[in-house]
Amino acid sequence: GFLLAFGSSIEVEVRLDSPDAKAPSSKEVVSAMFCGDAKEPLLVQRIGKARKEGKEAATVGGTTSGATAVPSLGYVQRERSEEEAMLFERAEKAVSEHWAGGKTTPLPLPQAGIQWNLPDDVKCTDLGWEAKEAAVRRTAQLVQDANGKKEWQFKIGGRQVGAFDARGIMSPCALDTNDTCHRPVPLDSGSQRERCLKIALYVKNDAVDGGFVHG
C-alpha cells in the first residue's frame, strides 16, 4: 500500500558546490523515489551523465555491466564519500520541496482482496465507496528534531502511516469469484506452476536439488 501511494520515481535537479571555492557550482539531475527501507525511505540514483559513463566503461560484449563498471550508476550512499553525502542531502531537500503542500491525486487500486480503508471525510462525489480513493491527499514531510535528526513522515488522507507500512488504512475485502479476474486458478498437481508457487511461498525448498532457493 505504501508503495502504491509514494513509490513513483521523480527527477529533480540539484546544485553541487565545487571543492574549489573559485570554481562555479554544478548541476546534476537525479532520480529519487521512496523505495528504500523504514530507516532510510528515500533512494537517490544518478542519471544522465552517469549513464553515459557507465555505457562507455562497460566491458565490450556485456560481461561487465555499466553499474558494475561505474558505481555512481547505483544508488547514492551518504557514507561512501563527501560528494555523495552532499548529493543525497541536496536531493532530499529537493524532494521535500517537491512534496511541499502535499499532492491530491488518484490512489492506484490495491491487489484483489485488499481495499483502502480511508477516513470518513475523504469523499468522492462521482464514484462509489470502493473507488473513493480516486482523489486523496498525500503528504511526505522531512521533519528535523531538536538534535538535527531528520525523518520522513507520511500521511494518506490525513492519516499518518509508517514508511512501507500502510496497514492502518488498508483492510481485507471479499472477492467476487464470479469475476474471472478474481477467480482462483486451479493448480495441476505436479505442474511447474505448482512447484514455483510452493518455492515462492516457502512450502518447498528446491535448493537441495540444485534448483531455486525458496522465497
Give tens-digit pLDDT for 175-192. 766 666 656 667 788 888
Q: How many CA atoms lie within 13 A of 103 on its CB side?
A: 15
At residue 125, the pLDDT reads 43
Instruction: Please tell me the predicted confidence (pLDDT) of residue 89.
Output: 93
Q: Supply the pTM of this predicted model.
A: 0.68
Find the helix or strand (DSSP H, E) in which 93 lies. helix 82-98
7-16, 26-35, 44-53: least confident range: 44-53
CA separation for the pair 58, 52 (Å, rounded): 10
Q: Which residue has the higher pLDDT, 40 or 111?
A: 40
pLDDT in tens, 40-57: 999 998 886 666 666 666
Whether 83 and 16 have beta carbons less than 8 Å apart is answered as yes
Q: How far is CA 184 from the centre of its chain?
A: 29
Which residues, listed in sequence order, are joined to residue 92 by a DSSP beta bridge? none
Q: Is the pLDDT of residue 58 over 50?
A: yes
